[in-house]
Amino acid sequence: MQYRVKLFLFFVFFISNHFLAQTYKNANADIELRISDLISKMTLEEKIGQMQQLNLWQMNSKVIDTVAKGKVGSFLNAGNKQDKIKLQKAAVEKSRLGIPLIFGRDVIHGYKTVLPIPLGQASTWNPDLVKRGTEISAREAAEDGIHWTFAPMIDIARDPRWGRIAESCGEDPYLASIIGSAMVKGFQGNDLKSANTIAACAKHYVGYGAAEGGKDYNTTLIPERELRDVYLKPFHAVVKAGVATLMSAFNDLNGVPTTGNSFTLKTILRDEWKFDGFVVSDWTSVDELIKHGFAKDGKEAALKAVNAGVNMEMVSENYTKYLKQLVESGKISTQWIDELVAGILRIKFKLGLFENPYIRNFEESTILCKTNKAIAKEIATESVVMLQNKNQTLPLKTKSLKSLAIIGPLADAPKDQLGTWTLDGKAKNTITPLTAITKEFGETIKIKYVKAMATCRSNDTKYFQNAIDAVKQSDAALLFLGEDANLSGETHSRAFINLPGNQEDLITELSKLGKPLVLIIMAGRPLTFGNITDKVNSILYAWHPGTMGGEAISDIIFGKTSPSGKLPVTFPRTVGQVPIYYNHKNTGRPPSANQLGRTLGTPENPEGFASYYLDVDFTPAYYFGYGESYSSFNYSDLTLSKKNIDFNDTLKVSVTVANTGKYKAKETIQLYIRDLYASVTRPVKELKRFKKVEFIPGETKKINFELTSEDLKFYDINMQYNTEPGDFELFVGSSANDKDLLKTNFKLTGSKEE
């Protein structure tokens, strides 16, 4: 009997210890227990291995051996499916603890089904639609074994010279917060373990969009108040939305490079926001701490990046080379390494990689499927912004249109149409405007296509005559001009942002023929083209619209749908106005409406001493939030529930909007506020709410919004995030232009304590 008891106790002891020894492999165990268990079993070298991300330059036995030794935690650009399987097998089946790899890829605006560039997606002002776009992108990428995307990019971008403005959600922190959060939710879904989802990575943390001169990798100088009120807002929003990871930026922020900046990475991200995912450096940005002059060598770069809070080093290998020495010498604590590694493991557990490390088997592929293309087309359609439509030239009337000239190098440029950062999109899958228009109308309308320019940047006029002849013989002409894909994106900043090459000369020559001209601009940034707006009838700004852009543009041109895009960024009249953005400060001497077009600053005109350029109107070419429709909308009856509210009240705002035109159309109703006086100066306007609503002709709707004192917060004179009592203006309308807004006032009284 005694023997049996001992045997039973031994059996219980053995099973218990075996179970405890395998806690990190137990799918039903709490994630934090699994993390703690796994870290307790890891050597320092294995922990450092998790902190290393490599680019797969070439698949070979050396790479496999490195993975099998537990010296890699992640790969980006990890080859095809077979390569990923080989690498994952080495990690799961050959390494000591079997910790799976995470495979990352730049799925920036679509995978194989390419969506409009993010700046175009922000132009939809439709977060639900944007979310659907990232959902299909996640599923397509997951089918190829990708776990993690380096998106969304939510840098606030106020300088159109910056090539990476194409990847942004524009200039406004509220709009970027809403669109960025929608992207995160689309990528990640409700459960990262779902086969249809991938982890998102918000970038570039932080301030990268404010790089001096609009040049990549450059210095940023942002006062802390502006950093918190503007540039950090979208990042805080996506952290609250559950973003899995963040990427540190390339830039020097106020003298401290962001990849070594403990204030942003520790104090704000972890201590204040309680972020528990992980931060990956941008490509070799740990190495670049040396070139910044912030670190003497790779060892010091590793020390500063780790102590600041960068969990994983991308591509460069300073962590691999130096972290062990730094820990053993006491310069980095083991506890801090454990915390950083825990952040990485937490995401791997959340992704379900320990249970499903290999590429999932999907019953049916969704890559480039009919549904995905339909969503891509819908996003492209809503991203197009109509900037001008003189004499209601658009939509073109097919009944009276017998002949049509299609002119320009971007009418049939499938690769350029995809835009920047399309690693996996293929030109062969792109439907161009020429293809779409010819397919639908080629049998009823005589279509003449002339490229007119060898490339967008060409200065040669030898093909102009062919274009002139084609337009002469046609009832109307569509001009597809703008930027090719290589003129925007990383390291593609421009000192001049006019239409490239001799595009303006082409427009000028064609305008002499007296035919209706419709200009469709494809570009990755706002361009300046004021010299030619009077030479064309209509202007559609189509950004780089992706795989289905041709069909989307065709539908708008021929009136199957009305354009509904609104600008997420201000368009300057000239590059000399940059930076120009709607939510600027007022200054002590703001210009006034009666100073438009006047030469100022003379003794005879003392009232002209204002914040102004002598040689250009102070207004932009096109305001933030602007976009025309084939229909027309009337705003009236702006009403507040109260004129005086306290800190506990909800301010209810209503406005009546009527479709007074002949077309079914969508309108984005925008609500802005202005804090008229405060302990620190406040912007002239701040976007606080918006709704995109569809109207049938003649329909009137009452649109409702709600605001609370939380929506009025900012960082005050003492750098506290507070709402201050005072007087406010409230605006509702169709753009940030005063002329497009109804205005009223309200007062906030009392204090938070009441």
Question: Is there a domain that residue 445 lies in?
Answer: yes
Number of domains within the chain: 2
Residues of the domain holding 542: 376-557
Question: Is there a domain that residue 215 lies in?
Answer: no
> CATH code at 645?
2.60.40.10
Residue 492: its pLDDT value, please?
97
Same domain for 401 and 539? yes
Residue 605: its pLDDT value, please?
53
What number of CA atoms fall less than 13 Å from residue 518's CA on the CB side? 26
Q: List per-block mean pLDDT (blocks of 10 residues) for the chain, which spans 754 residues.
A: 45 44 92 98 98 97 98 97 98 98 98 98 99 98 98 98 98 98 98 98 98 96 98 98 98 98 98 98 98 98 98 98 98 98 98 97 96 98 99 96 98 98 98 98 97 96 97 98 97 98 98 98 98 98 98 98 98 97 96 71 59 88 98 98 96 98 98 98 98 98 98 98 98 98 97 60
Residue 592: its pLDDT value, please?
84
Tell me the β-bridge partners of 541: 385, 521
Question: Is there a domain that residue 24 lies in?
Answer: no
- Phi-psi domain of 51 (left: phi exceeds 0; alpha: psi -120 through 50; beta: other): alpha
Tell me the β-bridge partners of 687: 672
Same domain for 660 and 552? no
Question: Is there a domain that residue 731 lies in?
Answer: yes
Assess contact for 296 and 260: CB atoms under 8 A: no
Q: In the structure encoding, which two tokens stand for residue 433, read together?
A: 């405007």
Tell me which residue of 703, 707, 675 sits closest to 691, measured CA to CA: 703
Amino acid at residue number 328? E
Residue 411: its pLDDT value, please?
98
Tell me the β-bridge partners of 407: 450, 479
Same domain for 519 and 400? yes
Question: Is there a domain that residue 227 lies in?
Answer: no
Question: Is there a domain that residue 496 lies in?
Answer: yes
Same domain for 656 and 548? no
Residue reference for tokens 């009136």: 559
Same domain for 543 and 408? yes
Respond yes or no on whether the N-terminal peptide bond of residue 492 is cis (omega within 30° of 0). Answer: no
> CATH code at 395?
3.40.50.1700
Question: Is there a domain that residue 544 lies in?
Answer: yes
Same domain for 655 and 536? no
Decide which of 501, 527, 557 is a domain's last residue: 557
Decide which of 540, 557, 574 is a domain's last residue: 557
Residues 6+ apart with CB under 8 A from 398: 441, 444, 445, 558
Q: In the structure encoding, which two tokens stand for residue 230, read together?
A: 């503007």
Instruction: Give the 3-state secondary structure of residue 733.
Output: strand
Distance, in Å, from the CA atom of 677 to the CA atom of 748, rounded to the nearest integer, reads 12
Tell me the β-bridge partners of 732: 671, 742
Q: Where are the beta strands (DSSP E) in 504-590?
A: 517-522, 538-541
Residue 21: its pLDDT value, please?
61
Other CB atoms within 10 Å distance of the CB of residue 336 = 13
Same domain for 393 and 541? yes
Same domain for 500 and 415? yes
Q: What is the DSSP string of 179-223?
A: HHHHHHHHHH-S-TTSTT--B-EEEEETTGGG-GGG-TT--B---
Same domain for 494 and 407? yes
Residue-wise pLDDT for 417-447, tens only, equals 999 999 999 999 999 999 999 999 999 999 9
What number of CA atoms fall less than 13 Å from residue 724's CA on the CB side? 20
Amino acid at residue number 342? A
Question: Is there a domain that residue 527 lies in?
Answer: yes
Residue 11: its pLDDT value, please?
45
Same domain for 541 and 424? yes
Assess contact for 545 and 524: CB atoms under 8 A: no
Distance, in Å, from the CA atom of 156 to the CA atom of 581, rounded to the nearest integer, reads 11
Q: Which residues belong to the active site?
A: 282
Decide which of 557, 588, 620 is a domain's last residue: 557
The pTM of this model reads 0.96
Amino acid at residue number 630? Y
Instruction: Give the 3-state secondary structure of residue 748.
Output: strand
